[in-house]
Amino acid sequence: MTTIAPARLHRGILLAVALTALNLRTAVTGFSVLTGDAGDELHFGPVVAGAIGTIVTACFAVAAFAAPPLARRLGLERTAALAVTATTAGILLRAVAWSPTVLIVATIIAFAGVGAANVILIPIVKQHFPQRLHAVSTMYMVLLQVGQLAAPLLALPLAQAYGWRTAAGAWAAVTAVAAVLWFATMPRPTGHAAPVPPSPRVSWRTPLVLGLIGLMAMTALHVYALVTWFPAMLEAAGLSPTASALLLSWFAGLGLIAAFVVPPLTKRLRNPYPIVVVCVALMGAGYAGMIAAPAAGAFVWATAFGLGVSTFPLVLTLIAARSENPQTASRLSGVVQGVGYGIGCVGPLALGVIHQASGGWNLPYGLLAATLLVTLGAGWAACRPV
């Protein structure tokens, strides 16, 4: 397959990338505001809700390791098609779940697909759009944040009008279109197998890779702990479900600023470590604020958290920038996201257990703040000029 596809195929791949990116987080933030209604109907509490959040990041971790070898065997576009199809099936099954077990199975199916797409989109963009890598990468990150922002805003009114099941399943319509596009843009068989390039090795022992893994791990831990529990934290402070959903959307929507600012800033700076320092300061202020004045300063703390997780686009930008070709990008992306999400997945479940055991949120806030020291150390190794 050539680097640049014919015009129509090229446009189809770009649209498929856009729709896939839009839906990389909708099934996460769109469901977190529905957890209470789903729990009431299916009879589950904080531990199961935390387990669902942990399953999301665990699926990201497993899929990150599985996606690169699958892509080498099937091709990037075919792997993307299968990933988005799995996401669609999981979202639909979750919408009709009749027990917590079925809900968990549906979550695993959906986020195995999302996790594979997380990894595959980076080398797809690098392969098909090498001359517009920055522009298409920015579009991909912006649409990811748009979906993350829009999902809770749309989920709550949909649930109030038609029930939580409709709100949970609505995004399958968009992922289904993306799946069709990926199948339509797959390379056609040519009668002989193209040589598969050798898989580049990624040494885990280098400071760069270890730093990227640590930065990804801490980012995933904080992002998914907050995405899973932020509405419950705010409601425990006395805010209404509607206000909590709006603040979750605000938290997610601030990623738009990061998507526009962080990638070009990372490329411009010889050492982008100051971005990490600013993010850690914001996250620390947010956790301190949630302990001191959770209700009165809720908007301020949500803003601090939303800007503080800007280390996510930083990691993705560094993965693409430090890779020599699409194969290296796929392998490095798989290692960093696989191990990173694997470590980060303990966050949602651990916070649910600690919250239930302690009867409050102050201890979880303190523990999350302590992990910011790891972010500082990992960020130093990841950002050093090489």
> For position 215, what pLDDT does the model report?
94
Model pLDDT, residue 194: 43
Please give the pLDDT value at position 363. 93
Residue 254 has pLDDT above 80, yes or no: yes
User: Which letter, b or e, does each residue of 110-140 get, where b requires 16 or more Cβ atoms within 10 Å of its Cβ?
Assistant: bbbbbbbbbbbbbbbbbbbbeeeeeebbbbb
Q: Give residue 204's pLDDT.
A: 59
Segment holding 341, helix H or strand E:
helix 326-344
The whole-number average pLDDT for the span 354-358 is 86
Query: What's the gap between Cα 330 and its chain centre?
Result: 17
Say if residues 215 and 343 touch (Cβ distance below 8 Å).
no
The more confident residue out of 206 and 109 is 109
Integer Cα distance of 175 and 173 in angstroms: 6
Q: How confident is the model at residue 9 (pLDDT cuts 50, 70, 90)?
A: low
- Sign of the Cα pseudo-torsion (373, 378, 380, 383, in order): negative
Neighbours of 8 (CB within 10 A): 10
Does the domain at 7-189+203-383 match CATH 1.10.760.10? Answer given as: no
Q: Give the mean pLDDT of the chain.
A: 83
Residues 126, 154: Cα–Cα separation, whole Å? 32
| Alpha-carbon gap, residue 149 to 248, rounded angstroms | 8
Show me where the domains of the chain are located. Answer: 7-189+203-383
- Type of residue found at 351: L
pLDDT score of 298: 94
pLDDT level of residue 22 (50, 70, 90 thresholds): confident
Calculate what percentage of the chain has a pLDDT beyond 70: 90
Q: Is the model's pLDDT at 360 over the cut of 80?
A: yes
Supply the DSSP symbol for 130: G
CA distances from 46 to 54, 128, 143, 151 (A): 12, 43, 30, 22
Contact residues for 6 (Cβ-Cβ < 8 A; gap 6+)? none
Quote the tokens at residue 160.
């109030």
Confidence band of 381 (pLDDT split at 50, 70, 90): very high
Share of the chain above pLDDT 90, in %: 25
In the predicted structure, residue 51 carries a pLDDT above the cut 60: yes
Q: Among 44-53, 123-132, 167-176, 182-191, where is mean pLDDT lowest? A: 182-191
- Long-range CB pairs of 235-238, under 8 A, 24+ apart, other chains included: 236/294, 236/360, 236/361, 237/290, 237/294, 237/295, 237/298, 238/295
For residue 122, what are the contacts with CB-CB under 8 A and spacing of at least 6?
316, 319, 320, 329, 330, 333
Give 326's pLDDT tier (boundaries 50, 70, 90). Answer: low
Q: Which of 15-19, 137-141, 298-302 has the lowest mean pLDDT?
A: 137-141
